[in-house]
Amino acid sequence: MEFSNDRIDISDLPRAEQVEWQPLESTYAKSVAFRAVVSWFLFCGAFLIVRYFVPGLQQKWMLIWGISGITVLHFFSWLISYLSFLRKAYALRERDILFRSGWIVRVEEVCPFSRVQHCSVSSGLIDRNLGLATLRVYTAGSGRDISIPGLREETALSIKAYLTQKIGAEDEEQAN
Amino acid sequence: MKNRQTDWSQPQKQAMIGLVLILVKVIRRAINVFLPLILLYVVRSQTSSVDKWQILLIVLSAFMVVRAVLEYFNYRYYIDNNELVIRKGVFRRQLISLPLEKIQGVQLEQHLIHKLFGAARMSFDTPGTESTEVKIDAIEMHQAAALKAFILEHRAEQVQLPAEYEYDEKKIVTLGLSDLLRLSFSANHVEAFFILLGFLFSMFENIRSVLSDKINSWVNNAAGWLPQGSFTAMVALVVFVLLISVVISVARTFITYFNFFISTREKGFRIYGGLINVREKLLPYSKIQFITWRANLIRKWLGIYLLQYYSVGSDNVKDNQQIRVPVTRTDFLPSLTDVYHPEIAEGKEGRRIHRAYVGRKTLISVALPALLVTGVAWYWLEYYALWILLLIPLGFFHHLFFARKFRYYLSEEAMQVRTGIWGIQNVLLRWDKIQKISVKQTLFQEKKGLATILLHTAGGTVLVPFIDKSDAFAIRDYALYKIETSESSWM
């Protein structure tokens, strides 16, 4: 790189790509599968309800095509979710949080603690039963948040507590 | 008074009216989800049994009521360890914590239904509030006042806004008549033409509903004489449209920038101007996240730029609310940018993006959609549909010029991006203003060792596509170093 910076040697800077990534909990794969199954049932249910009320959809071949279509779409959606689950990982460093995601488009996001506004921990019905939660780290402005799913609930809460403590410390540092 | 004794460390429920509000919200959401079923109900055949629908309606209503009740009873807010905590959700439980020192303001809103029950909606302004749901939908007024007082008291420091008037102001940009005329004539007349077209179209639609028969006969008459019309008539029409577009551009420029000036103060800019609606804006220097200045082809020749300040939340503000400053003389530019960071690019050789950008962008954003549209259009247009494929070479040259002209410049404290196919656009971003950094790689980019870097700020995102992966990572590491060691506040 051609930075005109005499005091700092760029090669000495901590390198984010060398960070040790923490994968998501393996039970999150079950959550992905369960969600696909629940969604499949919901779509099939909705299709059957619509079919029940619309006489034009009541032929047998419509039923076969409809259910097959829903199944194929759900299979591919599950496959992509599963492949991206394998890639999803996070890392906490002294001063920032990193999250890696995406299978077709691979994304690595980094958010310094000094830019975190607040965080939240949430869990849906399926995740809750599997003891999982999603940690969301909010920065200023919209659409620039980091959302890490598939964490054990205790892990998510302890990262949240760690981040909150870090945010407080950064603010105090700046005030001083 | 009850509010005096409120212990905010204990979880609090919403006001009872909250139940009604949640019910309304759940019904609204359900209508969105079940819209197809509702439509089916409306257009159902008379022969189908009504009982089925009644059962479905009862089941759905019961579900909505139960859900609203559960949502109401699961909602709690409290203050814990200098954080406002909101616990909510039925199927999806959420725990939101908002540090009190991050709250910049507390808003109370009262709709009619709130007024009837002595309640209010309370929302909390933070730089990141837009995408979150940090608000209490229903809180009794006395509770709201007490909570607001509690939060404001415990906040680390009040946000300092610049004073209304300062006498040591210095005007750095003023626009005279000649500046306004230069701005008007160099404006984007194509845009003005489309505004005119949109206006005429909406007027035509309104008139047509009243005078449909007469208009049809006029259109028929016009269709009769148009083919006989000479070349001169067509030219006259084009000149007429162009003249009207120029007049519109002049009017727009005068309405927006009449009596315009920008002045500097101790802590920020004061921007003033306008003919009908006079707008005055105070922009603290610290709130500027990044700056752009751009020019179309004509303005580039004339040395006129339109500079825009992106401050916190700029990407959520309407276009006419953005802070734009016309730069009619090149010596104005440093006085507008230097307070943030001086321009980097001038006289320097910038870094380029990879040439693979051209082929890839043409394939994904032009060639594939054009082939798809041609395939569909073939059904109606047959061989004429092939004209659509002309978009591919056009797209190719567009991306080729874009990639050739794209430059980015790096310096110790900031970076600058210079783009433009016919015109020019500059983006100036200080490292310490970045909120989050993303490095993206498609499978193709990964194979080629390339990446796209996105630098997110509180005012919008600056993007550098198709650069070496190692460069993207180096920029990320350096930006993180600058953010994490910066001692100045980003806002």
Please give the structure tokens belonging to residue B322. 């953005």
Sheet holding B268-273, edge to edge: B170-174, B261-264, B268-273, B279-284
Distance CA A23, CA B475 (A): 25
Q: How confident is the model at residue B213 (pLDDT cuts 50, 70, 90)?
A: low
Q: How confident is the model at residue B49 (pLDDT cuts 50, 70, 90)?
A: low
Could B474 and A10 be called an inter-chain contact, meaning their C-beta atoms sit closer than 8 Å? yes
Please give the structure tokens belonging to residue A15. 């390198």
Distance CA B333, CA B313 (A): 24
ipTM: 0.87
Lowest average pLDDT, out of A33-37, B132-136, B186-190, goes to B132-136
Q: What backbone torsions phi and psi does residue B161 show, to the nearest 5 degrees?
A: -100, 150
Q: How confident is the model at residue B219 (pLDDT cuts 50, 70, 90)?
A: low
Q: How close A54 gets to chain B, by Cα (Å)?
A: 8
Cβ-contact A140, B435 below 8 angstroms:
yes
> A17 exposed, middle or buried (CB, 10 Å; 0-12, 13-18, 19+)?
middle
pLDDT at residue B163, as a whole number: 47
Centroid of chain to Cα B75? 32
User: DSSP character for B366?
Assistant: I
Q: In this model, does residue B207 exceed pLDDT 70?
A: no
pLDDT at residue A40, as a whole number: 96
Question: What residue of B is the nearest CA neighbor of A50?
Answer: B37
Please give the structure tokens belonging to residue B144. 């709201």
pLDDT at residue B381, as a whole number: 87
Percent of chain B exceeding pLDDT 70 equals: 84
Cβ-contact B347, B380 below 8 angstroms:
no
Please give the structure tokens belonging to residue B147. 């909570």
- Contacts A108 to B, Cβ<8 Å: 438-439
Could B351 and A2 be called an inter-chain contact, meaning their C-beta atoms sit closer than 8 Å? yes
Q: Which three-class secondary structure state does DSSP give residue B228? A: coil
Please give the structure tokens belonging to residue A94. 């002294």
Distance CA B76, CA B73 (A): 8
Cβ-contact B314, B460 below 8 angstroms:
yes
Beta bridge partners of B136: B122
Q: Give A90-148 pLDDT, tens digit per residue.
A: 999 989 999 999 988 999 999 999 899 888 999 998 999 999 999 999 988 556 789 99
Please give the structure tokens belonging to residue A34. 């369960």
User: DSSP character for A86?
Assistant: H
Could B132 and A119 be called an inter-chain contact, meaning their C-beta atoms sit closer than 8 Å? no
Best mutation target among B436, B467, B478 (most A Cβ atoms within 10 Å) is: B436
**Mean local confidence (pLDDT), B448-466:** 94
What is the residue-averaged pLDDT of chain B?
A: 83
Torsion angle in degrees (nearest 10) through CA of B216, B220, B225, B227: 120
Residue corresponding to tokens 């099939």:
A44
Nearest to A141 among B127, B156, B157 (CB): B127
- Contacts A107 to B, Cβ<8 Å: 438-441
Give chain B's radius of gyration (CA, Å).
29
**Mean local confidence (pLDDT), B128-148:** 76
Cα B348 to Cα A35, B294, B393, B418, distances in angstroms: 54, 19, 32, 12
Please give the structure tokens belonging to residue B183. 């701005």
Q: In this model, does residue A171 exceed pLDDT 50?
A: yes
Distance CA B422, CA B409 (A): 20
> B165 exposed, middle or buried (CB, 10 Å; 0-12, 13-18, 19+)?
exposed
Could A52 and B128 be called an inter-chain contact, meaning their C-beta atoms sit closer than 8 Å? no
Q: Which three-class secondary structure state does DSSP give residue B129? A: helix
Chains A & B: contacts with CB separation below 8 Å: 186
Q: In this model, does residue B156 exceed pLDDT 50?
A: no
Question: Could you please report the per-residue DSSP string of B439-453?
Answer: EEEEHHHHHHTEEEE
B313 touches chain A (CB under 8 A): yes
Q: Give A28-78 pLDDT, tens digit per residue.
A: 999 999 999 999 999 999 999 888 888 777 888 888 999 999 999 999 999
Q: In this model, does residue B47 exceed pLDDT 90?
A: no
**Mean local confidence (pLDDT), B175-180:** 89
Distance CA A112, CA B477 (A): 11
Q: Which three-class secondary structure state does DSSP give residue B160? A: coil
More confidently predicted of A16 and A69:
A69
Please give the structure tokens belonging to residue B154. 């415990």
Beta bridge partners of B436: B456
pLDDT at residue B51, as a whole number: 67
Q: In this model, does residue B462 exceed pLDDT 80?
A: yes
Percent of chain B exceeding pLDDT 90 equals: 32
Cβ-contact B284, B277 below 8 angstroms:
no
pLDDT at residue B91, as a whole number: 80
Distance CA B203, CA B297 (A): 32
Nearest to A110 among B44, B82, B437 (CB): B437
First to last CA, chain A: 34
The single-letter code of the amino acid at B473 is F
Q: Which three-class secondary structure state does DSSP give residue B175? A: coil
Q: Give B 439-468 residues with CB within 8 A of chain A.
A: 439-443, 446, 456-461
Q: Which three-class secondary structure state does DSSP give residue A113? A: helix
Cβ-contact B19, B68 below 8 angstroms:
yes
Distance CA B278, CA B99 (A): 38
Longest alpha-carbon distance in chain A: 77
